Amino acid sequence: MARVTLQTIADRLGVSRATVSYAFSRPDQLSDDLRRRILQVADELGYAGPNAAARSLRLGRAGAVGLLFSETLAYAFADPYALGFFQGLATAAEEAGVGLLILPLPRGEKRPPPVRDAVVDAFCVVSLPDGHPALAEVLARRLPTVVVDEPYVPGHPFLGIDEPAAGAQAARHLVELGHRRVGVAMVGLHDDGRTGWADPGRQRGAVFEAMRGRRSGYEAACVSAGVDWASVPFYELSRNSRAAGREAGHALLGRTPRPTAILTNTDVLALGILDAAADLGLDVPLDLSVVGFSDSAAEEAGLTTIRQAKQEIGAAAGRLLLEPPDEPERLLFPHELIVRASTAPPRP
């Protein structure tokens, strides 16, 4: 049985294809009687409705926006920061009645990302490392594109926070409390899967722009407080999980002299650091101060952190996608230091 199209129905009834099309999309162009007959025949033949791809082609719009995210989706759906962003974006899409097409980024990179075939009206790119091929594919599509967090692409709207400033604020909080032996645990600097100590060279060579900026903020604040950055133990993680944070915590807290404060670039990691501190019988904040980032999982644990407006960024991204601005802007959203119980001056 051949596929049923508008033409099939038209032939059946001896009317033109256009008439059948009107029956589906512009009821006012037809007599009620004929329209009813058309719909009935369509039903009898098992017509699946006007083909979506053909419609999209003809109308020039897709009714969907594409979303590219650096991590696997399984990870993204477990990450509080990503979820906050998704919520904002999804709500904007929902209000506009457009779909959200989540595109997979093949990790094994055997095949190219399915960006070329994505039937969308715009793209939202979130947190891609420098030089990621998927970004080039997206830009080649020449659709409205907004980038969130990283990397900044001149000529396209950008949404994020002032990473160096936010990083500096987190670090300044610690040095102003009097800490001088600071350790750092960061995830998402590189995408080569390495875990362990990172020297300043590797730190600065991070391929994730936002994290690079955040780290440089840490460094700037520490240096201006007289801390020798080269001596700051810096542990790099490849996975953002509580377990990874714990691993970093043990590494950092095992050093002599032991750091009195640890900066982390996610709340989840910070929770892991707290676990490690607990393992070692250290009191937080008396023996150790810990700062998280994002305020995505920090509240219950009483974690000092930098709050970023995840949902607002998502919502704003959605709006920019749906109504691309004439002048691409670089929008930096506010961030805020939230001081809770995980930080205090070091023991004298």
Partner DNA sequence: ATTAAGGTCTTAATGGATTAAGAAGGAGGG
Partner DNA sequence: CCCTCCTTCTTAATCCATTAAGACCTTAAT
Closest CA to 308 of 74, 186, 148: 148
Instruction: Please tell me what DSSP assigns to residue 28.
Output: G
CB nearer to its own copies: give 138 or 222. Answer: 138
Nearer residue to its own copies within complex by CB, 104 or 254: 104
Q: Is 136 in the site for its own copies (CB under 8 A)?
A: no
Binding status of residue 24 toward DNA by CB under 7 A: yes
Cβ burial, residue 259 (10 Å; 0-12/13-18/19+): buried
Nearest approach, Cβ of residue 61 and DNA (Å): 10
* The one among 119, 301, 337, 338 contacting its own copies by CB under 8 A: 119
CA distance 89 to 283: 39
Task: Tell me if the bond preceding 104 is cis, omega within 30° of 0.
Answer: no
Asked if 142 is part of the footprint of DNA (rule: CB under 7 A), the reply reads: no
Give the count of residues interacting with its own copies (CB under 8 A): 48
Which residue in 304, 337, 341, 321 sits closest to 148, CA to CA? 321
5 binds DNA (CB under 7 A): yes
Q: How far is the CB of 144 from DNA (least distance, A)?
A: 16
Q: Any idea what the Cα angle at residue 91 is, between residues 96 and 55, rounded to 5°?
A: 35
* Residue 22 vs 293, nearer CB to DNA: 22
Does 40 bind DNA (CB under 7 A)? Our answer is no
Q: What string marks each residue from 72 to 111 as x (binds its own copies by CB under 8 A) or -? A: xxx-xxx----x--xx--xx-xx--xxxxxxxx-x----x
140 binds, among DNA, its own copies, none (CB under 5 to 8 A by kind): its own copies
Among 11, 25, 36, 140, binds DNA (CB under 7 A): 25
Residue 154 or 201: which CB sits closer to its own copies? 154
First to last CA, the chain: 85
Q: What letter represents residue 90's amino acid? A: A
The amino acid occupying position 151 is P
Q: Per rule CB under 8 A, is residue 63 in the interface with its own copies?
A: yes
Total interface residues for DNA by CB under 7 A? 30
Which of its own copies, DNA, none does residue 104 bind to, with CB < 5 to 8 Å depending on kind? its own copies
State in angstroms the smallest separation of the CB of 266 from DNA.
Answer: 41
Residue 123 near residue 141, CB atoms below 8 Å: yes
Q: Which does residue 30 touch among DNA, its own copies, none (CB within 5 to 8 A, set by kind)?
A: DNA
Per rule CB under 7 A, is residue 29 in the interface with DNA? yes
Nearest to 264 by CA among 243, 282, 287, 237: 237
Alpha-helical (H) ranges within the chain are 6-13, 17-25, 32-45, 52-59, 73-76, 80-96, 133-140, 163-177, 200-204, 209-224, 242-253, 267-279, 310-322
C-beta of 22 vs 158, nearer to DNA:
22
Which residues in 297-327 are b (16+ Cβ under 10 Å) and which e? bbeebebbbbbbbbbebbbbbbbbbbebeee
Instruction: Report the distance separating Cα 288 and Cα 346, nearest Å.
Output: 7
Cβ contact 289:344 at 8 Å: yes
Residue 211 beta carbon to its own copies: minimum distance, rounded to whole angstroms: 23
Q: Report in angstroms how near the CB of residue 43 gets to DNA at its nearest.
A: 14
CB of 133 to its own copies, least distance (A): 14
Q: Of 271, 314, 313, which Cα lies nearest the Cα of 290?
A: 271
Contact residues: its own copies, CB under 8 A? 46, 48-57, 62-64, 66, 72-74, 76-78, 83, 86-87, 90-91, 93-94, 97-104, 106, 111, 114, 116-120, 140-143
Contact residues: DNA, CB under 7 A? 3, 5-7, 14-19, 21-22, 24-26, 29-31, 33-35, 49-51, 54-55, 57-60
